[in-house]
Copies of this chain bind each other. A is one copy, B any other.
Amino acid sequence: MTPDPKSERRSERARRAILDAAFDLVSRKGFAKVTIEAIAAQAGVGKPTIYRWWRSKGAVVLEAMNEELGDDFAFPDTGDIAADLTTQITAVTQRLITGRISEAFKGVMGEAQNDPALMKAFRETILEPSIAECRARLDSAVAAGQLRSDVPTDVMVDLFYAPIHYRHFLGFGDDAVRRSADLVQDVLLGLQPRSDAG
């Protein structure tokens, strides 16, 4: 995220203050009503300090969100793929809906629709690592004979995750998003290995 992290002299204090202010403001006022000026003011920082290290408001908020999320994309593995998927998807929806992440996520994704660089950063730092973890778990389920082997696991990932984001971005409401985990069973039906044809 940091365009030029080379400098050793960068003030960690300022960086933290900016990310904290950004996250707090977005959570409280909504992404659209937050300005870089307001972030700078709340962080007790000059605007140029923000522009020096980030390209846009979206970039700041994405990094703030990343810090909030942490690096933990690990997928549970109890041996029961259906249970593990349900667990994980429930966790994701909770974080998306009730968590403090919600506003930041919607804001960043809205912005990213018109900002390819921001979209790229989001995918690289959040989406793709998390997809990779999911695929790894699905691969092991395929190897265990719990899932069909003739459907690519990246397609499976899409099938499991799509409903969450579909409902989230198209305004179906928090309850609908929260119930996304219920679809896991229906999707799984189509992905079970079958002796009796295809």
Contact = CB atoms under 8 A, between A and B. Distances in A.
**Most-contacted residue by chain B among A127, A170, A198 (CB, 10 A):** A170
A191 B119 CA distance: 34
How many copies of this chain sit in the oligomeric assembly? 4
Q: Which of A31, A151, A189, A191 has the most CB of B within 10 A?
A: A189
A30 interface: yes
Contact of A120 (B107, B171, B189, B190): B171
Interface residues of A, number: 41
Contacts of A161: 166
Interface string A157-198: 011011101110111000000000011001111110000101
A120 to B, nearest CB: 7
28 contacts: A109-B110, A109-B113, A109-B169, A109-B170, A110-B111, A110-B114, A112-B171, A116-B171, A123-B170, A123-B171, A127-B171, A155-B183, A158-B166, A158-B183, A159-B159, A159-B183, A159-B186, A161-B166, A162-B165, A162-B166, A162-B167, A165-B169, A165-B170, A169-B169, A188-B190, A189-B190, A190-B191, A196-B196
